[in-house]
Amino acid sequence: MMTRRALFAAALAPAQMAEAVKPIEQAVASGKLKAAVLRVTQGDGVFEKAFGTAKGSSPFLIASITKPMTATAVMTLVDAGKLALDAPAAKLLPGMDGRITLRHLLTHSSGLPDMLPENTELRQRHAPLPEWAGLAVKTPLLFAPGTRVSYQSMGILLAATMAEKVAGKAMPQLLAERVYGPLGMGDTALGLGRYKLADVVKSQTEHADPPGDTGWDWNSPWWRELGVPWGGAHSTAADITKLLRYFLKPGKGPLRPATAQLMVTPQNAEYGLGWRLKPEPFGHGGSTGTLCWANAAKDVTFVLLTGLPASESQKTVLDPASRAVRKAFGLE
């Protein structure tokens, strides 16, 4: 007898997803792509397929899909009255420009750079995250807060630092307790968590370190364990789907429903709070070769995790598969 999940999977597979599967299979057949997992849902219907060396349950380094996760943990503290979106961040981060607010940090509008000028040197020394945050507080702004939008990982780092200060806990623990636990995301961790290095999918990184570790290798034990709040989480396609579906229909979970809705409501032309707002109502991508989005009108979620950096997989795998799913559900 078919299980309930198998029946639902059959509702979306295989013909409906054939065009989405095609570019992934082609990349694997060519030897370009080593591992990937595609998961698409509509309501209770599920389609999931693993490619190459991956299994459906394989954890990937998801890079910047970490950002909305971190933002969710931060917003639980806004709900609790321990943080305020529009209070000066300098109250918790002495030395920071007094115009910058938590809202600016979560919406890529603070004026901070994406990465610090000292980025390479910090990597070479395997510097601890508090040192990165200390430099981010003092780094010159690229523009006045709130006047422009410019993608910035350092804004997410400082939002995470504020959350850690008021909660008295490190972000990996905050995420586990306040986001992953309530949403049943048992296979997700900031850093390696319970995973060993051999458990997680290896990135086909263009930054592999030569002898004498330069800190750029995404597969190094240091980077995988560091757990940067802007891009250091490991997760599965199923767990990311849980996160997307929670924000599609906020109910019981880590946030008040109105707060969850606020996170996917435009704060500027490009972003909600931690979430990108294009091409779908909300989603995010990652430089390690990952992409996710959700569409409320059709109740559809899309997750594609690969080991091929987005610099190589965006045009050949991620975008074509995403467009095919959007077309299949009448979103194109």
**Tens digits of per-residue pLDDT, 223-235?**
999 999 999 999 9
pLDDT (0 to 100) of residue 206? 63
HSE of 85, CA atoms in CB hemisphere, 13 A: 16
Q: Quote the CA–CA distance of 185 and 171 in Å, as a whole number.
A: 16
User: Among 13-17, 35-39, 311-315, where is mean pLDDT lowest?
Assistant: 13-17
Percent of the chain topping pLDDT 70: 93
| Cα separation values, 205 from 52, 62, 210, 248, 279, Å | 17, 13, 12, 32, 26
Sheet holding 282-286, edge to edge: 45-52, 35-42, 300-306, 290-295, 282-286
- The span from the CA of 262 to the CA of 289, in Å, is 27
Instruction: Calculate what percentage of the chain has a pLDDT beyond 90.
Output: 90
pLDDT of residue 327: 94
State yes or no: cis peptide before 279, omega within 30 of 0: yes
At 14, is the pLDDT very low, low, confident or very high (cuts 50, 70, 90)? low
Q: What is the pLDDT of residue 153?
A: 98
From edge to edge, which strands make up the β-sheet containing 189-190? 60-61, 233-235, 189-190
Superfamily for the 4-328 domain: DD-peptidase/beta-lactamase superfamily (3.40.710.10)
CA 141, CA 214: separation in Å to the nearest integer? 27
pTM of the model: 0.94
Q: Do 240 and 303 meet the contact criterion of CB atoms below 8 Å apart?
A: yes
Burial 119-141 (b: 16+ CB within 10 A, else e): beebbeeebebeebbebbbebee
Q: What is the reported pLDDT for 3? A: 36
Given a cut of 70, whether residue 25 has pLDDT beyond it is yes
Token pair, residue 134, equals 């200390």
Report which of 278, 320, 319, 249 is spatially closest to residue 108, judged by C-alpha positions. Answer: 278
CA distances from 229 to 22, 67, 85, 93, 284 (A): 33, 7, 18, 17, 14
User: Which tokens is 125 given?
Assistant: 């020394």
* Helix, strand or coil, per DSSP, at residue 165: helix
Where are the chain's structural domains? 4-328
